[in-house]
Amino acid sequence: MIPVKGVEGARIGVLGLGRSGLIAARALRAGGAVPICWDDNPAAREKAESEGFETADLSRADTVGSLASLIVSPGIPHLYPTPNPVVALALQQGVPVDNDIGLFFRSLADVEWGDFDVEPKVIAVTGSNGKSTTSALIHHILEHVGRDSQLAGNIGRGVLDIDPPGDGGVVVLELSSYQTDLARALTPDVAVFTNLSPDHLDRHGGPGGYFAAKRRLFAEGGPDCAIVGVDEPQGQYLANQLSEGPADDRVIRISSGQKLGGPGWLVYARKGFLTEWRKGKQVASIDLRGVPGLPGAHNHQNACAAYAACRTLGLAPRVIEAAFHSFAGLPHRSQIVGEANGVRFVNDSKATNVDAAAKALSAFENIRWICGGLAKEGGLDDLLPAAEAHVRKAYVIGREAAGFAIDLRGIEAEVCTDMATAVARAMADAEEGDTVLLAPAAASFDQYDNFEQRGDDFTAQVTRLIGGGAG
């Protein structure tokens, strides 16, 4: 655990007692604070009380006013669409509002670091899509070379729940926009921006607020090195703002699909090959086409980001390349869950928005596409070109399946509503060489608690129908 520093004797509110909230309360107590906890869910309050934490209704103005600060869990809105009432009280009364990420960055460094041969590093990854795979891939590469590495944040362990890093240790954080938006301290050594596509727009007041939340990771603390995906205008703008000039190699520009040029530090993937250029010279080239855990152009972008992050730590290209080949990928992200009669079954339940689904569709040919769910803002138009090029037929699930199918203009679509029907129909239609792909392009909450549960259902249905042939 990372005890929170500078809080001894302070009464600090903790709003939301899910995983991150409860860990924050423990870390605050370890640092000598007095956490005052609250959650609207009685079961969550009972769990906190069972650990000896004081609970109090933080919706009372006098209670909030007695706090030194308020720590808010990521799922609780602090500004848009409207602030949570407790947060609103804190804002009105001038009580500082923070989250566990802010506590982490202000508490991680220790006087013992002065005795280390190599000071610990923090690599923080954000972006709309690919941040989980990128973070996990960096962690995998570091483990492959025997480097002390811990994976935390929006993936792996809670940030305050990790062990204090030792000599040369690396902490790899996946950070969502919910986490970067509120943190009062953001000081990674290396910051990674994968890409940007419309998502969580209600939570951030539109696309500008969403980008601003991501940008804070780079603007607040000033990382020593920034790795920026430049396939969208926002990434190009961010790289430009961070760089002192074309040759400034504190900014590494990455891309998937376009050749980058100039005197700076560049990593890009084209036609299945990752290439690194620095100071106008090619440094390395890696063939990604045979890497099973990183299929498709979107995963090649993830590979570029992870490669660049590890290069900033001094790892050699061939060492990174070897680690790529042993990376198994993450569940629910282009995960091959079975094969039967020449048909592959791929679980990409994490493709919850249009951009992620389009990238998943572009990674495979002859697709029997299972899609649908709780549609997000913006419609489906942006994925139709990829669907027309790669999809043989769509099988639509979700409570609004009929409407979703209508929006798939030009794509043959069958309304199936539930996962069992969709998998059975796709399997019945599939021919050798086809891929049955779950890439919903929608949230899961109309039928499932989360995208993991949806992906697990897909995997279970596939396993049941192919008779244990999944692997």
What angle is formed at CA 70 by the lines to CA 66 and CA 73, rounded to 5 degrees?
Answer: 150
Alpha carbons 220 and 188: distance in angstroms, whole number: 10
How confident is the model over 398-420, as pLDDT tens digits? Answer: 999 999 999 999 999 999 999 99
Residue 280 and residue 293 in contact, taking contact as beta carbons nearer than 8 Å: no
Q: Which of 206, 210, 14, 216 is nearest to 103 (CA)?
A: 14
Coil, helix or strand at residue 126: strand
- Measured in residues, the chain has a length of 471
Is 359 marked as binding a ligand? no
pLDDT value of residue 367: 98
| Residue 128 marked in a binding site | yes
Q: What pLDDT sits at residue 470?
A: 40
Can 11-98 and 106-325 be said to share one CATH topology?
Answer: no
Report pLDDT for 296. 83
Per the CB < 8 A criterion, the answer to whether 222 and 197 are in contact is no
Question: Which architecture does CATH list for 11-98?
Answer: 3-Layer(aba) Sandwich (3.40)
Residue keyed to tokens 């220790």? 110
Query: How far apart are alpha carbons 90 and 351 in whole angstroms?
Result: 36
Q: Is 99 annotated as a binding residue?
A: no
Q: What's phi and psi for 417, nearest 5 deg?
A: 75, -60
The angle at the Cα of 173, spanning 172 to 174, to the nearest 5 degrees, equals 130
Which has the closest alpha carbon to 214: 340, 309, 126? 126
Q: Which residues of the chain have pLDDT under 70?
A: 468-471
Contact criterion met (CB below 8 Å) for 225 and 252? yes
In CATH, which of 3.30.499.10, 3.40.1190.10, 3.40.50.740, 3.40.50.360 is domain 106-325? 3.40.1190.10
Options 3.20.20.70, 3.90.190.20, 3.90.550.10, 3.30.70.2080; which CATH number does 335-466 get? 3.90.190.20
Q: How far is C-alpha 369 from the chain's CA centre?
A: 23
| 66 known ligand binder | no
| Other residues' Cβ atoms within 10 Å of the Cβ of residue 182 | 24
Closest by CA to 320, choosing from 129, 59, 138, is 138
Element of type H or E holding 251: strand 251-256
CB 176 within 8 A of CB 124: no
Q: Which amino acid is at 322?
A: A
Residue 338 and residue 317: Cα distance in Å, rounded?
A: 32
Which helix (H) or strand (E) element contains residue 284? strand 281-287
CA atoms of 368 and 426, how far apart (whole Å) = 6
pLDDT at 58: 96
* Residue 17 to residue 176: CA distance in whole angstroms: 18
Find out whether 180 is annotated in a ligand binding site. no
What was the pLDDT predicted at 201? Answer: 79
d(CA 186, CA 182): 10
Supply the pLDDT for residue 471: 38
DSSP string, 56-86: --TTSHHHHHT-SEEEE-TTS-SSSS---HH
Domain boundaries, the chain: 11-98, 106-325, 335-466
277 membership: H or E segment, kind and range? strand 273-278
Query: Is 131 flagged in the annotation as binding?
Result: yes
pLDDT in tens, 72-89: 999 899 999 999 999 999
